[in-house]
Amino acid sequence: MLAGLALLAGACSGTDRPELSDTTVPPASTTTAASTTSTTTTTTEPPVVHPAAPDGRVYPSVAAEAEDAAARLYVVEDLLDASDPSDAAWPDLAHEQQMLYRVIGRNLEWIAVTLEGAPDEHRWVIERHLAARRAIADIGGGSGEPPQNAPAWEIIEPLTAAELRVLYDQAAADTGIDWSFLAAINLLETGFGRIDGLSTAGAQGPMQFLPTTWEEVSDGDIDDPADAIPAAARYLVRRGGPDDMHRALWGYNNSDAYVAAVTHYATLFAADENSFLAAHGWEIHYSAAIGDLWFPVGYRLEEAQPTADYLEDAPWSAPPPRS
C-alpha cells in the first residue's frame, strides 16, 4: 500500500525555526592605531527570514552541526514531556521534533552523536524514533529518482488523537490487533489521514487500500477513518495477525523495511503515549528532487505540478537555510 512513500523515503531533510525578531545592524566601529585614526564601517546583512505559510506557521530549521541538532532534540523532548497537546506551542514543538528526527535519522554519524549524548530519560524513545527513520530510509531500497513534481494531493485536517484512539481501540477490541499497530500504519500511510490523494487510480483513504483489496474486508466508505481503520485491522487478521504481526504487516506491504518501521513506531506508541500524541502533530513532508517540501493543511493540487513552479507560489514549502 503506502501511497505516501515519497513523503517518507530517505528519512529526509528538513531543518530549527528561524528567529523572527528584527536584527539591528551594528554601528560603525572606530579603530585607533598610533597617531592614525581610521573608521571602518562593517555592514551585517540581516538574516533571511523564511516566509510563513498561510496560517502563519514557519518550516522549522535544523542546525547544520550534529552536536547542535542533538542538543536541540533533547530540549524539544523535554518541552514535549512538560507540555500538553492543548498548549499553543505544541504544534510547532511536534513539527520541530519531526524535522530533527528526519535530519538526524538520515546520517549514521549524526545518529551516533545523538545517541552518545542522549539523556537517560529520553534514550529509549530516541533510539526507537531513529530506528524507525532508518527503516523508512530502506523502504523501496532507495531505488529510483526523487519526484520532480509536487503531487496531486489535498492535505486535510485529521481526526484528533483522541478520536483516532477511540477507533483504534474499538478495532483492537474486535480483532485483537493492538491499537499501536493501527496507529503506526495510519502514520506511515497518510500522516494520520492528512493526505487525501486526488487520484482514484491507486490506493485510497487514510489506511491506503487498493479498491480490490477493500472489497475483501469492507463494504463501507474507503475514505472514512471509521470504516478504514477497522477494515485495516480485519485485513491484518486475514494476513496472520495478531499472532504473527511480522507476517501480517508483510501482507500489508511486502517490505521488511516497512514491517520494521511500523513495528518500531508501534512499540514506541504502546510504551509511551506522549510519543503517539507528538507524532499525531507531525506535518506532511515530501522528498522531492528539489528538496524536502512541507505541505501543511490546505495544500491542494488537482494535477501534479513541477516543484519549481509550485514553489513560486508557495516559497514557505521549501526548506529554510541551515546554520
Instruction: For 86, list phi and psi in degrees, rounded to 5.
Output: -80, -10
Is residue 128 pLDDT above 90, yes or no? Answer: yes
Is residue 167 pLDDT above 80, yes or no? Answer: yes
**How far apart are the C-alpha atoms of 266 and 249, rounded to whole Å?**
12
Of the candidates 165, 181, 102, the residue with the CA atom closest to the CA atom of residue 134 = 102
Residue-wise pLDDT for 189-219, tens only, equals 999 999 998 766 689 999 999 999 999 999 9
Total-model pTM: 0.86
Domain ranges in the chain are 5-16+51-317
Residue 46 pLDDT grade (very low, low, confident, very high; cuts 50, 70, 90):
low
Is residue 18 pLDDT above 50, yes or no? Answer: no
54 or 131, which is more confident: 131
User: What are residue 293's DSSP bridge partners?
Assistant: 286
